[in-house]
Structure 1
Amino acid sequence: MSKQEFLPMCKAEMAERGWDELDFIMITGDAYIDHPSFGAAIITRLLEREGFKVGVIAQPDWKDIDAFRVLGRPRLAVLITGGNLDSMVNHYTAAKKRRSQDVYAPGGKSGLRPDRATIVYSNKVQEALPEVPVIIGGVEASLRRFAHYDYWSDQVRRSILLDSQADLLVFGMGEKAIIEIANCLRNGKSIHHITDVRGTMVPWRGEPPERAQVIPSLAEVKESKKSYAEGFWQQYREQDPYRGRTLYQAHGREGVLQNPPALPLTEKEMDEVYELNYARSYHPVYEPEGGVPALKEVEFSLTSSRGCHGSCSFCALAFHQGRIVQGRSADSIVREAEDLTKSSHFKGYIHDVGGPTANFRRAACKGQLKRGACAHRQCLFPEPCPELDVDHSEYIRLLRRLRQLPEVKKVFVRSGIRFDAVLADKNNDFLRELCTYHISGQLKVAPEHVSPTVLKRMGKPGRKVYDRFVEEYGRMNQKLGKKQYLVPYLMSSHPGSTLKEAVELAEYVRDMGVNPEQVQDFIPTPGTLSTCMYYTGLDPRTMEQVYVPRSPKEKAMQRALIQYRDPKNYDLVAEALRLAHRADLIGFGPKCLIRPRKHGAGTKHEGRDSTHEGRRKNNEARSAKSGTKDVKNVGRGAKQGTKGFFKSISVGLEIQSAN
């Protein structure tokens, strides 16, 4: 692929275009991938469409000041994003251990971006290119725009806008805001006078304007966890483009002023964004390293929507993309699919057609596009709202059109579905279509937990809803004569989960015959309700006290309980069961999680006994184990058949790449 298909990354590439100066420079913590799944690509291509000259500096060496000067001095501004993920989430696990790989870097190499990349890049730019306006955006800036709890330093940090010393912060997806800002700058308006653009936050000195609602200050939220929870809930409720108000938060002698969120993109605007002149690949400079792994996940996938009205407490989408779903037209998606089939790398498989939630294609109800999402009620929790418009027929028609393309062999749906929304539909047409054509042997869904105590804090439907979906899914596959499985994503150590609830989840894992190799341990990422609960011990929606598992030992025990079959976890599981007063689950019966360990026995033959009584118990245990295997076989009766739709799986941490 020619370098001319990409925006310039060096002076030589600028010269090839006949440019001696740029209007904007985009600095990103990711490698340069010119694909609409990456926020930096969308923003730069939008600016290009508006007639601006734009260049990209990807993953600059933050220890070298000259790395920020490779494209010269831009005429209007430098734009900075930490990348498609918060840099701290990108770098560290829930146990705060350094990750060994960065899929957004060439060859998957780690260490090519700094911790808190947005702050570091911004400070370096101001040193390298003084007096050039600096605008920050992307996930990292968006989720850290107010005073926020930072899990990795275990403290409340001030707004990233002030720590970065940037002139302006764009939150959310940013398309409308960046075009308005760019045109203001082009027309000679000072960056310091651009203070009222929707979807932006600005530094503010002096008294806040009359239009602003004042929320608890940095000093107050540091001093009082109750104030932190109250302030967060105010922020959360105002993240709506129709009813959201301007917010002001004091940080000592200065403060931050957030304007209301940008209005949702219309279907036509969404189509235009995703049909810009993308190269749809990584820059050729990365070929020697074997490319950039992140591209593989999205190269032959289609984004059909953004936003999510599911509003899971642990997900930052509501704070970033918003609760109002915005969808592309079917025609636009089909055109993109036709372009994909022309690629020399295309093998006939479209890997995904979806977004944050694949089966959300439009606003939850007509009222959302007039008055916004409801401030004090959710669309699906604790049960679907009577006004919720659940109809998968348009999505079904889209999938059928894609299947009919001559070069397409299979169209997968892999970005995850809301099973409660599937059940809320008036018929089973979508489930039938899904099971017949769009699953590669397994479907991933996210019950996350089974305890009502934990699910309440998560904002997820109850266990009975998930069990009903399991039954419906099982019946549908039996009817179709298919052996297809469910991959349930499970989470340990979420606020609200004591060892009692963790044991309850382990028993569910036992009964369903699931053998998860990995478990998603809750990570308190910025901008989520769950993180607020983790830090304050309060549910900001109700101000109720919430139990929070904090110690590494307890978190390890909760995780081990889900993986109780792994011999390495024996000691943790045994200790957890005793602390939870559930030693009844240590034994030889079919309901036991682990066998008792005879003094001096090794882990390979836990609890085996050479006595007559011991042999009898061992035989019972083997029979129970055999029975468990039988349960996994599909079609061994209705009850066993339902359980048989699970298999030994890998339940891993999946982070949604929001632009």
Structure 2
Amino acid sequence: GNMDSMVNHYTSDRKRRSDDAYTPDAKSGKRPDRAVSVYCKKLREHWADVPLVIGGIEASLRRIAHYDYWSEDVHRSIVCETEADLLFFGNAERGIVELAHRLARGEAIHDIQDIRGSGFLREGVAEGWTVLDSTKLDTPGSLAKRPVNPYAMETERPCVGENTGAGKVVRMHVRRMTPDRDRTVIRLPSFEQVKSNKALYAHASRVFHLETNPGNARALVQQHGKRNVWLNPPPVPLEAGELDKLYELPYTRQPHPSYGNAKNPAWEMIRFSVNIMRGCFGGCTFCSITEHEGRIIQSRSEESIVREVETIRDTVPGFTGNISDLGGPTANMYRLKCKDPKIESSCRRLSCVYPGICSNLNTSHADLTKLYRRVRNISGIKRVFIASGLRYDIAVEDPEYVKELVTHHVGGYLKIAPEHTESGPLSKMMKPGMGTYERFRALFEKCSKEAGKEQYLIPYFISAHPGTTDEDMLQLALWLKRHNFRLDQVQAFLPTPLAIASAMYHTGKNPLRKVTKTSEDVASVKTPQQRRLHKALLRYHDPSNWPLLREALKAMGKAHLIGNGEKHLVPTWQPKSTQRGRNPKRGLPKAMNQTKSFARPARKHKPQKRKNPARV
């Protein structure tokens, strides 16, 4: 499916969600936890001899041994848990078509083991493959130092007691040949090893993510008991023509007829939106887009996008002329790519924009700007909004794009994701600093003013991310207060399988760098009490959080931030309305009763003119 069942069912605090946007009328409990494993077990019970192939986001993110946040344990690969014959990770359209043709030709499912983007169980390693131990490529733990080049020869040491007065000894060395990458497999630490050794888990996460570029990735193998989970290299990205064909198939653009007249929230949100690209090269460590869709941007043609907009206009019931989104995983990576295909295919960076924008990345938004202008001028289209998250650090490199976006495609609010203000957590997220945010904010406000519009940025922030301290959250809260932001919705970090930040959370190590037992430690917020504190600091304006914040500020030696002035974070008094069973907003002074949705600042209302008493 397109939604992980555990993320769908539980909050970041492991509490059961009360609704499900993917079911009729948003009713919860319609699907089981760990749905892929449950469904596969049922299928095997009834059709034991039928080939079983799994895929989708839930299977894709569990293709090797992974940390499971909900059980707080390391789980086996989902291939082992489901006994599936084949796993496809990523979108996998090309792989599915190839598999279907080969099965139709009579090939046995167990003989089909060479499709890119697939994983399966096998005994041993096939003949003709070179096996590299991952610990020799990126040595974890307090092991002996090894050459930087894993294929380099070590200089032999002289024998103890060797006769140095004798003639010079000539030693013959056999030069090792560099293995063929297409026939090389990297052996990750086994399931049993990563389950018992956190340093090895972090090391395996690091090596896994370094082997995700389709241009240079090698196959991976990980032992689970007596069997091996084998992962072929990621699939080659689709070309524009292939994407066009996929998105222009004759979809009904309607929920399944069995839903009847029930409302489907997930469909309602995207029914008038158009997906223009796939992938993301941002590399945010808490995000799983890279593990699923990859870093290479795959974009549709302009003509195909226009045809889909026209199809929505002409065939979708209820369309009123407004396109709700032209986007994808990120709003503004359409057709952005490396300037040199050779450099792109050999690159092993985890992000093209962190710690700074790569000099080889083309940041021109000219194609996207042209697309926006063309779509908004289609007959019958009133407005085209951009609802996907904006990567503002690359948008600010193209002021013409920002002007087009702000002038024509923002419905009063534009969401962006700084995620934090402090360098500690930002370095673990691989996100830019607030200097970039301020540059974009200034450009956004300038363009809004020129367009004669009152518009606001909606910044999103994460609490309890690995590497975040109480002091970091306090500084973020003070920044929010200085800028008059009052968050109504707060996102707390949720460790999803395979994400780099999840490895940090579980192991306390930083896989962004070489992992050793003495390498950088990463502290994580794990206790319910500290997680509540971090969320409370983001919502410093909520009176129900004030008692907790007062106690925390005193414990941190920050009691000077408690008071009733502008420089204080929380007041000394507590409204009676915050008692149990009463509305915490009722009875508050007007200045304290202006909590806004998301993160928009309170509007500055102009004083209304009093009516002339003589005319009343």
Whether these two folds match at TM > 0.5 is yes
Q: Which residue of 1 aligns with 2:439?
A: 468
**What aligned pairs does 1:7-86 form with structure 2 within 5 A after superposition?**
83-86=1-4
Q: Which residue of 1 aligns with 2:166?
A: none
2:492 is the alignment partner of 1:492: no
Q: Counterparts of 1:366 and 1:605 in 2: how far apart (Å)?
A: 58
| Contact 1:422–1:430 (Cα < 8 Å) also in 2 | yes
Q: Counterparts of 1:276 and 1:369 in 2: how far apart (Å)?
A: 33
Q: Which residue of 2 aligns with 1:284?
A: 257
Q: 2:422 aligns with which of 445, 451, 475?
A: 451
* Cα displacement (A) at 1:576: 2.5
Q: 2:405 aligns with which of 434, 440, 463?
A: 434
Q: Which residue of 1 aligns with 2:365?
A: 392
| Contact 2:210–2:350 (Cα < 8 Å) also in 1 | no
**What aligned pairs does 1:564-583 form with structure 2 within 5 A after superposition?**
564-583=540-559
Residue 293 of structure 1 aligns to which amino acid in structure 2? P
* Cα displacement (A) at 1:364: 2.6
Q: Counterparts of 1:206 and 1:287 in 2: how far apart (Å)?
A: 51
Q: Counterparts of 1:266 and 1:85 in 2: how far apart (Å)?
A: 25
Q: 1:249 aligns with which of 191, 216, 222?
A: 222
Of 368-377 and 238-247, the range deviating more from structure 2: 368-377
Q: 2:479 aligns with which of 486, 492, 508?
A: 508
Identity of matched residues, %: 42
Q: Which residue of 2 aligns with 1:91?
A: 9
Q: Counterparts of 1:622 and 1:372 in 2: how far apart (Å)?
A: 60
**DSSP-derived class of the 2:396 partner:** helix
* Cα displacement (A) at 1:571: 1.9
Residue 133 of structure 1 aligns to which amino acid in structure 2? P
**DSSP-derived class of the 2:260 partner:** helix
2:37 is the alignment partner of 1:119: yes
2:72 is the alignment partner of 1:135: no
| Contact 1:326–1:363 (Cα < 8 Å) also in 2 | no
**DSSP-derived class of the 1:256 partner:** strand
| Contact 1:486–1:647 (Cα < 8 Å) also in 2 | no
2:382 is the alignment partner of 1:409: yes
Q: Which residue of 1 aligns with 2:119?
A: 201
Structure 2: tracts of 5 or more residues without a match: 131-183, 580-587, 604-616
| Contact 2:418–2:437 (Cα < 8 Å) also in 1 | yes
Residue 241 of structure 1 aligns to which amino acid in structure 2? P
Q: Which residue of 2 aligns with 1:236?
A: 209
Q: Which residue of 1 aligns with 2:161?
A: none
2:20 is the alignment partner of 1:102: yes
Q: 1:154 aligns with which of 65, 72, 91?
A: 72
Deviation readout 1:355-382 (Å, 9 max, x if unpaired): 1111101243133576437213521111
Q: Counterparts of 2:403 and 2:323 in 1: how far apart (Å)?
A: 19
| Contact 1:502–1:561 (Cα < 8 Å) also in 2 | yes
Q: Counterparts of 1:508 and 1:122 in 2: how far apart (Å)?
A: 49
**DSSP-derived class of the 1:149 partner:** strand
**DSSP-derived class of the 2:461 partner:** strand
* Cα displacement (A) at 1:602: 4.8
Q: 1:547 aligns with which of 519, 523, 536?
A: 523
* Cα displacement (A) at 1:583: 1.6
**What aligned pairs does 1:329-408 form with structure 2 within 5 A after superposition?**
329-343=301-315, 344-368=317-341, 371-372=344-345, 374-376=347-349, 378-408=351-381
**DSSP-derived class of the 1:588 partner:** coil
**DSSP-derived class of the 1:545 partner:** coil
Q: Which residue of 2 aligns with 1:29?
A: none
* Cα displacement (A) at 1:473: 1.1
| Contact 1:169–1:201 (Cα < 8 Å) also in 2 | yes
Deviation readout 1:461-501 (Å, 9 max, x if unpaired): 00111122112211221222210011111110000111000
Of 376-385 and 162-171, the range deviating more from structure 2: 376-385
| Contact 1:249–1:256 (Cα < 8 Å) also in 2 | yes
Q: Counterparts of 1:377 and 1:187 in 2: how far apart (Å)?
A: 39
Tell me the number of residue pairs that the alignment of Structure 1 and Structure 2 aligns: 531
* Cα displacement (A) at 1:603: 4.6
Q: Which residue of 2 aligns with 1:213?
A: 186
CA 1:187 to 1:369, structure 2 compared with 1: closer, same or farther past 3 Å?
farther
Q: Which residue of 2 aligns with 1:297?
A: 269
Q: Counterparts of 2:529 and 2:205 in 1: how far apart (Å)?
A: 29
Q: Counterparts of 2:508 and 2:547 in 1: how far apart (Å)?
A: 29
| Contact 1:349–1:411 (Cα < 8 Å) also in 2 | yes
Q: Counterparts of 1:470 and 1:249 in 2: how far apart (Å)?
A: 46
Deviation readout 1:101-129 (Å, 9 max, x if unpaired): 11111121111111000000001000011
2:248 is the alignment partner of 1:275: yes
**RMSD across aligned C-alpha pairs, in angstroms?**
2.1
Q: Counterparts of 1:538 and 1:372 in 2: how far apart (Å)?
A: 29
Q: Which residue of 2 aligns with 1:325?
A: 297
- Tell me which structure has the larger Cα radius of gyration: 2
Residue 527 of structure 2 aligns to which amino acid in structure 1? S
Q: Which residue of 1 aligns with 2:151?
A: none
Q: Counterparts of 2:349 and 2:327 in 1: how far apart (Å)?
A: 27
| Contact 1:364–1:379 (Cα < 8 Å) also in 2 | no
Q: Which residue of 2 aligns with 1:23?
A: none
2:92 is the alignment partner of 1:174: yes
Q: Counterparts of 2:602 and 2:329 in 1: how far apart (Å)?
A: 25
Q: Counterparts of 2:346 and 2:440 in 1: how far apart (Å)?
A: 27
Q: Counterparts of 1:364 and 1:345 in 2: how far apart (Å)?
A: 37
